[in-house]
A and B are shown apart, each in its own frame.
Chain A
């Protein structure tokens, strides 16, 4: 709501500067967001006031001025309205739906002369964001700004029967509003009719068929009160949001109906001439007075203050609330323009506001001491993030939205459940119309963006929810971690040159150590692997035989689809599953008493033999003196024959109860060699 300082001064005689005025209003709950010069009057400033939805009474100059007079304890000078010579009868008004329209008042002004408004009107409209039209329409807008009550002017000669009927649309399903738009109606929308046809959508906009134009001579002026919820529903349904609907849906002042009508009628005769008829004020459902009692103790308890009853009375009186101290409480009757005040807490808020929040002391709550309650999942996520960070990965946060076509680019199968998208009815963009069912596309897009900045090596991770169909109202929200690694092909000369897959795998193994996950393994399983991963360079991650995620190199076709380099590695982890598989207990094992003996072994095996095959073969020997088997070299190429590779392991032998002899170790060691030769067709490398 824009409010000119000069206009406010017509109602309150205050001497504050615009900045001081803004501060006074702001600290009383009418936040002034901006002070701008009045472009139509160089001696004036305009306050841009953020009026909260509970204060429709301040959607007018008069309302803000009334508030200002209360805050500053200055007297309020209301408009003096006097209408003379009302001889002719007012229009006939029939309200059929009194629950949607409890009051409708009208006057006719005969013989007006349509022309542009004088500058004092048009400039004010312009400086408050309303484009002047003609003197009649301008007056209705002027009164809307000044008094906060929306009015409408009809061209009387276009109304059949020269009467007003207020009723719902019923079977009328189309209506052309004065902006020349054809609106689709539904039967419960409230309309204003003449004797035959609809002439306005109540509280929203008049019809083209009854518009005031340059040829208008007689005007029917409407001032009514419409039920807020009905106006809002219609406004949403027909997609009209006007200055009028904005006020009606927040709640106009039913007691203001006649005052606003008279003010407009008076202004019209002033600037357009004409003769005013008597008023017709159809008011079938009278405003009910709300009496509220508030306990004085409750006021002090809730605010944490100690205020005198006389101070309370003084404040309430200042904002126009009738009040009376009765026993241990105060009984109040809010004025018609304060329909937001319905319960004791609403009154307490008014007292707090006028008392000044700054005067309320700051204390810390006196409560029982309770032990810190740990959120295990939250702590774990923190640990995971920190572990990834220490492995070189930076955290990203992407929008939860998904471009459905990204699922095609990921090559997801037709029957993949991640294609059952949760869609937003009103997305900002088509590419953001669904909720994510996978974190991968966003991470790929992060890589693409950064490559475009010239980055060559990227490590990102994200922990966010994905949203899967559940068959219920709310989707399943599953917390996932995804990480992406683009390794710089060139690298740095002293840094290792192995496949980026192993870097990412290492980061994950560190993470597992950090959160105490033990029984994990990486399994190559073509039937389970994600379609967007390279089948030969990817694996399933299992913990205690449950699949918790995937790790692998991007499928070359998917890399093509996203126009990125194929040497991108991806990790995906189901955080909730992982959390459920943690073994938090640490049990100490006594330190070994006897020394170990270490033997290295180098074998040449066919290419398809995995390190895990070799390890398992070695550990499968029936003995209890193998403490550990560790890979220390892999090599393929000359002089190793084609189709083969060399693996080298360190085997550590130790017994718990004695020092091992060379002989004992030799015995087991040769068994290992034999087993490797037999089961893996391994040759010992000399």
Chain B
């Protein structure tokens, strides 16, 4: 009996090993484990065996059955995997067909740069304020210490709506509006469009500025330098050289212009920096006490600084753009690069 079982096991094993397709495996299952299968018949025949041996043979037969079943399952899995493999080999999509989506649009390069600049100042505790683009002469000039009939007004070619109403030539007008409404301490940035009647490769009649100012007790020029160095290093890189040199704006005193080491030639000298190695990026200074007097602040109690920068200029330097007019032509091929 034992021998018989072992021989069944061997022959089943051999047959399974020799199969070459899924159907053959199925046939082997029927042949050995089917209702009338060789092993099934042996199990059925157990009842005829002496009671004391029945248990032992029963166990062996069951083990053999499990063994063969296992071999069959493994063989089946092998064939199924191979079959799926074949199917997968024939099912193909062209992965180089472009994806199905609406491509993202692009923010205007000046928006990107303005956002970046604003983040820097927000992180230092400044808040955003805005003012009108069509402005009273008073806010744009008079209160900023540009008296009527003063040549300082020639520094900015002005579009006039009436004798007393202008297109603001700078965002500095927001300084007066905010200081009139709020008392110090103040830490404000004011972005916006400004207008000058001028048009060539480096001037457009409209451009954007960001004004910043801070007023408190004991604000000094060294604070101004500190804040603007943080800014310049954040935008142009921490190793960018920054220098301050004297200048003149009616609403600040002392006034400064701020240069960075030329981003094009790294200070070696090129046409962009006119061989000086330096590029001007903004104007700044300590708020003129005359301005404080206009808004009713006590200039002996408060000091402050203000600065203003052209967003297009910073953007041009950051991305190497050489014609400011590109910003307002709205050529898709330009906009798509940002």
Contacts and interface: CB of A to CB of B under 8 A. Distances in A.
Contacts of A369: 125
B40 to A, nearest CB: 46
B331 interface: yes
Interface string A669-686: 000000000000000000
B218 A301 contact: yes
A378 interface: yes
A464 B108 CA distance: 13
B221 A352 contact: yes
**Number of chain B interface residues as a range:** 35 or more
Interface in B227-246: 227, 229-230, 243-246
B335 A435 contact: no
B111 A423 contact: no
Interface string A385-403: 1101111111111111100
Contacts of B193: 400, 464-465
Given A400-B193, A477-B134, A31 B257 contact: yes
B246 A357 contact: yes
Interface stretch (B23-31, B82-90, B95-103): B95-103
Given A232-B149, A233-B149, A397-B110, A358 B243 contact: yes
A679 B105 CA distance: 44
B205 A426 contact: no
Contacts of B102: 391-392, 503
Residue among A358, A392, A395, A425 facing the most chain B CB atoms (10 A cut-off): A395
A583 interface: no
Contacts of A348: 253-254
Contacts of A425: 159-162
Contact of A473 (B136, B150, B205, B218): B136
A453 interface: yes
B294 to A, nearest CB: 14
A357 B254 CA distance: 10
A587 B189 CA distance: 34
**Number of chain A interface residues as a range:** 35 or more
B253 A363 contact: no
Contact of A357 (B151, B204, B218, B244): B244
B313 interface: no
A52 interface: yes
Interface string B291-318: 0000000000001000000000000000
Interface string A530-541: 000000000000
Interface string A488-529: 000010110000000100000000000000000000000000
Contacts of B336: 394
Contacts of B218: 301, 366
B33 interface: no
Given A363-B222, A396-B108, A455-B332, A370 B246 contact: no
B135 A352 contact: no
B79 interface: no
Interface string A462-487: 00110100000111010000000000
Residue among A370, A396, A461 facing the most chain B CB atoms (10 A cut-off): A396
Interface stretch (A2-10, A284-292, A302-310): A302-310
Contact of B245 (A228, A357, A362, A474): A357
A654 interface: no
A447 to B, nearest CB: 9
B248 interface: yes
B221 A394 contact: no
Interface stretch (A21-29, A85-93, A120-128): A21-29
A7 B154 CA distance: 28
Interface string A426-439: 11100010010000
B260 interface: no
Interface in B117-164: 122, 125, 127-130, 132-136, 147, 149-152, 154-155, 159-162, 164
Contact of B330 (A353, A378, A449): A449
A29 B247 contact: yes
Contact of A422 (B130, B161, B195, B204): B161
Contacts of A453: 331-333
A372 B216 CA distance: 17
A378 B193 CA distance: 14
Interface in A293-329: 301-305
A262 to B, nearest CB: 28
Contacts of A423: 161
B115 interface: yes
B128 A375 contact: yes
A367 interface: yes
A365 B165 CA distance: 36
A365 B126 CA distance: 12
- Interface of B: prevailing SS: mixed
B167 interface: yes
B107 interface: yes
A348 B223 CA distance: 16
A460 interface: yes
A74 interface: no
B219 interface: yes
B227 A364 contact: yes
A364 B121 CA distance: 13
Contacts of A29: 245-248
B16 to A, nearest CB: 47
Contact of B220 (A26, A228, A304): A304
Given A424-B160, A473-B136, A28 B332 contact: no
Nearest to A29: B246
Nearest to B249: A52
A458 B336 CA distance: 11
Contacts of B274: 33-34
A373 interface: yes
Residue among B135, B149, B226, B254 facing the most chain A CB atoms (10 A cut-off): B254
A395 B332 CA distance: 10
Contact of B289 (A343, A372, A378): A343
A362 B159 contact: no
Contacts of B199: 428
A345 interface: yes
A152 B117 CA distance: 52
A54 interface: yes
A361 interface: yes
A346 B253 contact: yes
Nearest to B206: A399
A416 interface: no
Contacts of B197: 426-428
B225 interface: yes
Nearest to A507: B102
A16 B231 CA distance: 34
B222 A304 contact: yes
B185 interface: yes
Interface of B: 97-98, 100, 102-108, 110-111, 115, 122, 125, 127-130, 132-136, 147, 149-152, 154-155, 159-162, 164-165, 167, 185, 187, 193, 195, 197, 199, 204-206, 214, 216, 218-223, 225-227, 229-230, 243-248, 253-257, 274, 276, 286, 288-289, 303, 327-333, 335-336
Top 8 nearest A-B pairs (CB, nearest first) are A304-B222, A29-B246, A304-B220, A52-B248, A396-B330, A349-B254, A375-B128, A394-B105
7 contacts: A348-B253, A368-B185, A396-B335, A397-B110, A467-B133, A475-B134, A477-B134
